Amino acid sequence: MTDERSRNSEPSSIEDELLTSALRTPALSQEGLERVRAAVEREWRATVPRGAVAGKRRTALSSRLRWFAMAAAAVVAAVGVTSWVARLPVQTAPLGSISRSDEGALSVLSARFPPRNLTQGGELRVGDRVTAQGPALVALARGGTLRISAGSEVTVISPSQISLGRGLIYLDIPSGTGAGIPLRVITNAGAVEHVGTEFEVMSDDQTVRVRVREGRIRFVGRTATVVADAGTELLASPGKSIVERPIDTYGSDWLWTAALAPDYEIEGSSLISFLRWVSRELGRPLNFADANARQIADRTILHGSVRHQAPIDAMSNVLATTSLTYEIRGDAIWVRSSTSTAL
Amino acid sequence: MVGVASNLAPLTNECEGCHGVYEADRALVARMRAGDQRAFDEFFKDSAPRLVAFIARRTALDPATLEDIVQSALIKAVRHLASYRGEAALFTWLTEICRNELADEHRKAKRRPTHLSLDEPDAVHRWGEMLRAPQGQEPVPQLQAATERAEIMKVLESLPANYALALEAKYGDGLSVETIALQLGLTEIAAQSMLARAREAFRQRWQKRSAT
C-alpha cells in the first residue's frame, strides 16, 4: 500500500489536491495493528475447524509459556478424548471414497477426527485436508472421479467445493451428475467451475494452470471470468491477465491421469460403451472406419474383467476377443471390422 | 475456443463493468473458513489499515478508540464469515460492519456521563492532555483543516457508494488503478473510467456547495 502511494501522488487539479489532503489519514501504529491482528486472528482460529489451520505462524511465546500451553493442551486433549469416546463425532458429508492409492499415500487432517491415513475404501469428507504423498483416485459421491497427483494438498470445503492449495488434480465429471450443482475448485488465483467435463488443475502459491480436456469450464479469476472449451489451457496469477492457449487433449502430458483411470466393469456392458470410455480416458475421439464395425460395437455385450489394466491395454485385450481391430491415427482412435478395407 | 465471458450474468449489479470478481472475495473467505493461514494474512493485510482509515476519515476518534472499533468489526466479520455471500466486495461488507460498530459506539457515548470529576486525580491529568495542542500543530489551522475534511467527507458521502469507495481507495489509501479495479470487481479500463466519473461528480457537488 505504501509503495503504491508514490505512484498516485501527483495531484493534477484542485479536486485532486482537496481529496488527497482530506482523505489521507495517519495510519494506526504498527503496535496497534499488531494488537488488532492478534485479537482477530485468535477469534478466527476459534471459528475454523480444530487442526484445520494450515501454515501456522510462529508466535513469540516464551519457552515457559510454550511448556505451559503444551501442558494445558494435554489436559484439554485428555478431556477431549474422554468426551470423544463417550460421544462419537457426527459424520460430515462425504466428497467421495478412495478407489485407488498406495498404503500411506494420503494423510488427512480433519476437524472432527484425529489425523489419519486414507486407504482404499476410506471416505474423504467435508473438513478434511488431504496431503498426497502418492497418486490417488477418488470416486466422487456426486458421480465422476477426482485424481490426485503426488505432492498435492486438497481441502474439502463442501460436497461441491474443494480447495487446491498446491499440486495437480484431474476431475472427470460426466454431464448430468451432481444435481446440476457445479463442482468448484478454489485456488489461490481464482476458482474453476466445471460445466460437465474433464479438466486438470495445477496450482501453487501464485499461479494456476487449468487444462480442459473435454466439455467446458468457467474460470473466475480476480481480473476476469473466462470460459474455456476442450483443448484449451489457461494460466492465471493474481493481478495478471489470464493467458490462454490451445493444447492437445492426448499425449504424454495426460499419461498420469490414464494411470489413475478407474476400473471399467465390462461384465454386461456394450462394446460401444466401453470404447467410449476408452476414448474419454485417452482424450482421443472415437471413429469407426466402416458401418459394420459400428454395428458390431453396438450389439456386442462384454463379459469378464479388465480390472487393473490401463485403458489402452484394456482396449487391446477386449478387441482381441472380437472381430474388430483398432489403430491410433492422428489424434483419433479408429475401429474397423475385418470386412473393412484399409483405413 | 476461449472467450471472456462478457455475456455471463454478473454476480452483482452493484456497479457497471463488474465481471463477477466478488468470486475472488468469496474464494478468499472460503479459504479462511477452511483454515488457510495465508488467506487470513491476505484478508488482514488488505482490510485492517483501510478500515482504520475509513473510520478515521469519518470521525475524530482517538487512535485507541479507532483500534477498538476496527478490532470489534473484524472480530464480528470473522465470526460471521459464513454470512458473506459475495454479493458485494468484501471490503464493502466490512465497511458496513464498521458503520454498525460506529453507531454502537455513538450510542454508548451518548449514554456515558459527559462530565469528568476533577476530584479524580487521573481526571486532571487527562484534561491536561486533552487541552494541550500537539507539538507543531496550531489549533486554528487544525480546526480549519478538520472543518474542510468534514465538508469533503460530507460531499463524498453524498456520492454513490462505489464512487466514494473508489475515490477513497485512490486518494486516501493510495492504491493503484489496477488494485482498485481488482477490489471493486472491475476491469482496469472500467475502474479508470469510474474514477473519472467519480471525480467529476465530486467536482460538481463541491463547486455547487461552494456556490451556496
Model pLDDT, residue A325: 92
Indicate the CATH number of A263-337 among 1.20.120.80, 3.55.50.30, 2.60.40.420, 3.40.50.720: 3.55.50.30
Do A94-254 and A263-337 show the same overall fold?
no
Could you tell me which chain A residue has the CA closest to the CA of B18? A224
Write out pLDDT tens, residues A100-116.
888 778 888 876 667 78
Look at residue B68 in the predicted model and tell me its pLDDT. Answer: 87
Residue A196 phi, psi dihedral angles, 5° rounding? 75, 85
Tell me the average pLDDT across A169-182.
Answer: 76
Q: What is the pLDDT of residue B127?
A: 41
Position A216 pLDDT exceeds 50: yes
Cα B101-A59-A126 angle, rounded to 5 deg = 70
Model pLDDT for residues A217-257, shown as the tens digit of each residue? 988 877 778 889 888 998 888 777 788 888 888 888 888 88
The DSSP secondary structure of B58-97, one letter per residue, reads H----HHHHHHHHHHHHHHHHHTGGG--SSS-HHHHHHHH
Given a cut of 70, is residue A73 above it in pLDDT? Answer: no
Q: Which of B2, B78, B172 comes nearest A23 by C-beta?
A: B172
Using pLDDT thresholds of 50, 70 and 90, give the confidence band for residue A7. Answer: very low
Find chain B residues with C-beta within 8 A of A162's C-beta. none
Interface of A with B in 41-100 (CB under 8 A): 41, 43-44, 47-49, 52-57
Interface test with chain B among A186, A204, A241, by most B beta carbons within 10 Å: A186
Determine the residue among B7, B22, B23 to mutate to test chain A binding: the one whose Cβ has the most chain A Cβ atoms within 10 Å.
B23
Instruction: Decide if B37 and A227 are in contact by the 8 Å CB cutoff.
Output: no
pLDDT at site A333: 92
Higher pLDDT, A303 or A341: A303
Average pLDDT of the residues of chain A: 79
CB proximity A247 to B under 8 Å: no
pLDDT band at A91 (very low <50, low <70, confident <90, very high): low
A157 min Cα distance to partner chain B (Å)? 6
Residue A2 and residue B174: Cβ atoms within 8 Å?
yes
pLDDT in tens, B8-44: 222 233 344 444 447 778 888 988 988 888 889 989 9
pTM: 0.46
| More reliable by pLDDT, A260 or A86 | A260
Residues of B in contact with A43 (CB under 8 A): 75, 78-79
Give B143 or B135, the one with higher predicted confidence: B143
CB spacing of B63 vs A32 below 8 angstroms: yes
Assign a CATH topology to domain A94-254.
Answer: Jelly Rolls (2.60.120)
Q: To the nearest whole percent, how much of chain B has pLDDT over 90?
A: 14
Residue in B closest to A15 by C-alpha: B203
CB contact under 8 A, A25 and B36: no
pLDDT at A180 over 70: no
Whether residue B126 is predicted with pLDDT greater than 70 in this model: the reply is no
Neighbour tally for A56: CB within 10 Å: 9
**Do B16-111 and B150-212 come out as alike in CATH topology?**
no
What mean pLDDT do residues A159-170 have? 88
Selected for mutation to probe chain B from A6, A10, A12, A28 (highest B CB count within 10 Å) is A28
- What is the structure's pLDDT at B76? 92
Write the residue in A7, A32, A188 that is nearest to B67 by C-beta. A32
Contacts of B49 in chain A (CB under 8 A): 1, 27-28, 33
Residues 261-320 of A with CB under 8 A from B: none
- Please report which confidence band the pLDDT of residue A335 belongs to, taking 50, 70 and 90 as the band edges: very high
Q: CA quadruple B163, B165, B170, B176: dihedral positive or negative?
A: negative
**Res B6 pLDDT > 70:** no
Poorest-pLDDT segment among A35-44, A251-260, B92-101, B197-206:
A251-260
pLDDT surpassing 70 at residue B122: no
Across the interface, which of A15, A29, A33 has its CB nearest the CB of B199? A15
Give residue A65's pLDDT.
47
What's the confidence (pLDDT) of residue A9? 42
Q: What average pLDDT score do residues A137-149 get? A: 90
Average pLDDT, stretch B169-178?
85
- Alpha-carbon span A246 to A211, nearest angstrom: 9
Chain A residues near residue B168 by CB distance under 8 angstroms: 23
Q: For residue A18, which residues of chain B lie inside 8 Å, CB to CB?
A: 148, 152, 206
- In 3D space, the residue among B24, B30, B3 whose CA is nearest the CA of residue B12 turns out to be B24
Contact residues on chain B for A44, CB-CB shorter than 8 A: 32, 40, 78
* CA–CA dist A270, A290 (Å, integer): 18
Scan for cell 457445479, then name that residue.
A182
* Residue A293 φ/ψ region, left for φ over 0, alpha for ψ in the -120 to 50 degree band, beta for the rest: alpha
| Residues in Cβ contact with B34 at an 8 Å cutoff, skipping those fewer than 6 apart | A48, A52, A129, A155, A157, A163
- Listed by start position, the domains of chain B span 16-111, 150-212
pLDDT for position A12: 59
How much is the average pLDDT of B160-182? Answer: 84
Is pLDDT above 60 for A59?
no
Residue A80 has pLDDT above 70, yes or no: no
Spatial distance between the Cα atoms of A155 and A160, rounded to a whole number of angstroms: 12
Determine the pLDDT at residue A31.
83
| Confidence class for position B105, pLDDT limits 50, 70, 90 | confident
pLDDT (average), residues A282-304: 90
Q: Which of A4, A10, A214, A232 would you mutate first to test chain B, the one with the most B CBs within 10 A? A: A4
Report how many Cβ contacts below 8 Å link chain A to chain B.
Answer: 202
Fold of B16-111: Rna Polymerase Sigma Factor; Chain: A (1.10.1740)
Buried b or exposed e, range A306-316, using 16+ CB within 10 angstroms: beebbbbebbe
* B150-212: CATH topology: Arc Repressor Mutant, subunit A (1.10.10)
Percentage of residues in chain A having pLDDT higher than 90:
17
Helix/strand/coil for A218: strand
Higher pLDDT, B73 or B110: B73
Question: In chain A, where are the structural domains located?
Answer: 1-47, 94-254, 263-337
Cβ distance of B4 and A32 shorter than 8 Å: no
Q: Which of B44, B49, B202 sits opposite A27 (nearest CB)?
A: B49
